[in-house]
């Protein structure tokens, strides 16, 4: 069984389509999404349609929650807040309803794996450091936890003494695979489809091959100039437009 793992699409349909195309070449059986389908980008309707067409098992992200009107963007920076209000206005009622009904993580996928948006501690918490990872490892017995929110593709592996961090690098290739070892727990971020922040502007996703016990990470180029043009036409904040080109 091969699971196509997506996170943080952020209304970027060009990036989503590029990931789907690449994942089809690589092969997958089902789709999992760690949330933040909308927010920041210019195509929230198309992003939701895309996720639904994939029959993705998905949890909500903080942007989905706020765009749905379940919460107000009081913790958001001014750019993100402006994008949330734009997204709310752009979404027809059935789409807002879809976001409202997305489940809150953690969500069990199999006996081995679960999804969370930010962290097991809270959907809005970030897992950036080994200390963050350690706090989360103590809250679960699941070997695999897929998370998003930070927009950094990364794997944290539990060790008997603390945790070891395995930052994922794409400098040499567009593909890398990480082995799942029995007895160890992994926290896995597939990276962000629609707004990567690790310095690489290419869209990011992962495939969990359960039979081969490995996680594959992929990067794909997409037409970000087109996404930026649409954002300009929608009068979305310049900061959000510029950052796509830098992957920051």
Both tokens assigned to 156:
């944290």
Closer CB to Fe ion, 36 or 125, in the complex: 36
In the bound complex, what is the minimum distance in angstroms from residue 182's beta carbon to Fe ion?
A: 32
Q: For residue 95, give the nearest of 42, 48, 41, 60 by alpha carbon.
A: 48
Enter the tokens of residue 87.
Answer: 């997204």
**Shortest approach of Fe ion to residue 4 CB, angstroms?**
18
**C-alpha closest to that of 35 among 10, 9, 60, 70:** 60
Tokens read off for 78: 């001014």
| Shortest spacing between CB 34 and Fe ion, in angstroms | 9
Cα separation of the two ends of the chain: 33
CB of 23 to Fe ion, least distance (A): 20
State yes or no: residue 198 binds Fe ion (CB under 5 A).
no
Residue ranges in 40-199 assigned as alpha helix (H): 44-53, 62-67, 78-90, 93-101, 130-137
When the beta carbons of 99 and 180 are compared against Fe ion, the nearer one is: 99
- Closer to Fe ion by Cβ: residue 22 or 117: 117
Question: Which position among 9, 18, 36, 208 is part of the footprint of Fe ion (CB under 5 A)?
Answer: 36
- Which positions from 121 through 140 interact with Fe ion, judged by CB under 5 A? none
The stretch among 1-9, 108-116, 216-224, 232-240 that binds Fe ion (CB under 5 A) is: 1-9
**The residue count for the chain:** 248
Residue nearest to Fe ion (CB): 36
151: Cβ contacts below 8 Å, ≥ 6 apart:
8, 191, 192, 195, 196, 197, 198
The region of 29-37, 99-107, 125-133, 175-183 touching Fe ion under the rule CB under 5 A is 29-37
Which lies closer to Fe ion via its Cβ, residue 143 or residue 196?
Answer: 196
Burial class (CB within 10 angstroms; exposed 0-12, middle 13-18, buried 19+) of 183:
exposed
Which candidate, 30, 15, 32, 28, places its Cα nearest to that of 220?
A: 15
Q: Cβ 61 to Fe ion, closest distance in Å?
A: 6
Taking the complex as a whole, how short is the minimal distance between the CB of residue 217 and Fe ion, in angstroms? Answer: 18
Residue with structure tokens 């750019």?
79
User: In the complex with Fe ion, which residue's Cβ is closer, 83 or 180?
Assistant: 83
Please state, in angstroms and rounded to a whole number, the distance separating the CA atoms of residues 92 and 81: 19
Question: Toward Fe ion, which CB reaches closer, 87 or 163?
Answer: 87
Q: Which of 4, 8, 11, 80 binds Fe ion (CB under 5 A)?
A: 8
Closest approach, Cβ 136 to Fe ion, in A, equals 18
- Chain contacts with Fe ion (rule: CB under 5 A): 8, 36
């Amino acid at each position: 069984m091969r699971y196509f793992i997506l996170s943080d699409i952020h209304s970027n349909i060009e990036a989503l389509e590029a990931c789907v195309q690449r994942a089809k070449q690589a092969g997958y059986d089902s789709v999992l999404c760690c949330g933040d389908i909308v927010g920041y980008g210019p195509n929230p309707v198309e992003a939701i349609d895309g996720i639904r067409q994939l029959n993705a098992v998905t949890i909500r992200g903080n942007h989905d929650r706020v765009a749905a009107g379940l919460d107000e963007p009081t913790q958001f920076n001014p750019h993100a807040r402006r994008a949330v209000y734009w997204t709310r206005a752009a979404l027809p009622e059935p789409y807002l309803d879809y976001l409202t009904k997305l489940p809150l993580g953690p969500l069990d996928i199999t006996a081995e794996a679960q999804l969370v948006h930010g962290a097991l501690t809270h959907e809005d918490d970030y897992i950036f450091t080994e200390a963050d990872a350690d706090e989360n490892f103590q809250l679960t017995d699941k070997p695999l936890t897929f998370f998003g929110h930070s927009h950094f593709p990364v794997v944290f592996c539990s060790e008997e003494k603390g945790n070891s961090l395995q930052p994922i690098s794409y400098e040499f290739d567009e593909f890398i695979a990480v082995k799942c070892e029995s007895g160890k727990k992994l926290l896995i971020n597939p990276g962000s489809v629609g707004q990567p922040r690790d310095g690489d502007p290419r869209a990011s996703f992962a495939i969990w091959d359960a039979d081969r016990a490995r996680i594959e990470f992929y990067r794909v180029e997409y037409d970000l100039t087109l996404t930026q043009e649409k954002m300009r036409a929608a009068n979305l904040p310049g900061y959000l437009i510029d950052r796509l080109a830098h992957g920051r």
